[in-house]
């Protein structure tokens, strides 16, 4: 059983430490800053073996070089971002696999937020570390890629098992829930989830992870087939990708 530690850093980032107790190997995903990672490793008496980067933005790779210098770990990231990922050792491409101990990790390319964005899926544990592609009740802004690319990326993630735990890189859930409700106010599952999220944030608690099942029921960016959403945005005769594009544009201006 993998052990996962979630570190809240900066304004709303999450860093994840993943430890396999059998092999004693540890990976960190998207280390924005160094010291919280070092402190967490010391507290657990773990050694860092790998940094896994989902994309090149500084709030995901900011501690790469400092952690590599302190721990001699290896950095794995997208081959597309080889020129803009600090300290990269291993270039990853779509459908590549590697292991943390005996735990298989599958790389899924998810261009959209950035062109080189990748996510890390643990098929046996059903864990998805998705960076800024899929958020709890949201998805990433389109900084480099197109709406078509992001839509196709999310379609791939929708095919994962419903019980998959979704570990995204930011605490955006409350704001995302308010937007989702503006599109689908009568969605009962969304209404319940909004109350749960609001209660957690009032206590300054994390809303992550969610499950893919929850996202499919409540996340507007995975629900372009919802007649209620289509009606709200006057897009009942539009193609799914165009509905997604319209939702993304509405969120950008919400």
Give catalytic residue positions: 55, 57, 59-60, 113, 132, 170
Strand order in the sheet with 3-9: 3-9, 13-20, 25-29, 50-52, 74-78, 90-92
């Amino acid at each position: 059983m993998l052990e996962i530690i979630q570190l809240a850093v900066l304004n709303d980032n999450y860093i994840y430490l993943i430890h396999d107790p059998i092999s004693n190997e540890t990976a960190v995903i998207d280390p924005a800053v160094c010291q919280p990672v070092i402190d967490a490793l010391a507290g657990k008496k773990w050694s860092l073996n790998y940094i896994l980067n989902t994309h090149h933005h500084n709030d995901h790779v900011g501690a790469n070089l400092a952690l590599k210098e302190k721990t001699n770990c290896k950095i794995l990231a997208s081959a597309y971002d080889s020129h803009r990922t600090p300290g990269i050792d291993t270039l990853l491409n779509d459908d590549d696999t590697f292991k943390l101990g005996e735990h298989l990790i599958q790389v899924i390319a998810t261009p959209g937020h950035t062109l080189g964005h990748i996510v890390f899926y643990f098929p046996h544990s059903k864990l998805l570390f998705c960076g800024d592609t899929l958020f709890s009740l949201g998805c990433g802004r389109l900084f480099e890629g197109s709406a078509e690319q992001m839509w196709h990326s999310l379609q791939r993630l929708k095919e994962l098992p419903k019980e998959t735990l979704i570990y995204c890189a930011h605490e955006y859930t409350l704001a995302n829930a308010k937007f989702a409700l503006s599109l689908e106010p009568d969605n009962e599952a969304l209404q319940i989830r909004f109350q749960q999220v609001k209660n957690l944030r009032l206590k300054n608690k994390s809303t992550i992870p969610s499950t893919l099942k929850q996202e499919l029921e409540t996340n507007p960016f995975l629900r372009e087939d919802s007649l209620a959403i289509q009606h709200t945005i006057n897009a009942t005769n539009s193609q799914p990708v165009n509905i997604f594009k319209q939702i993304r544009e509405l969120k950008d201006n919400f």
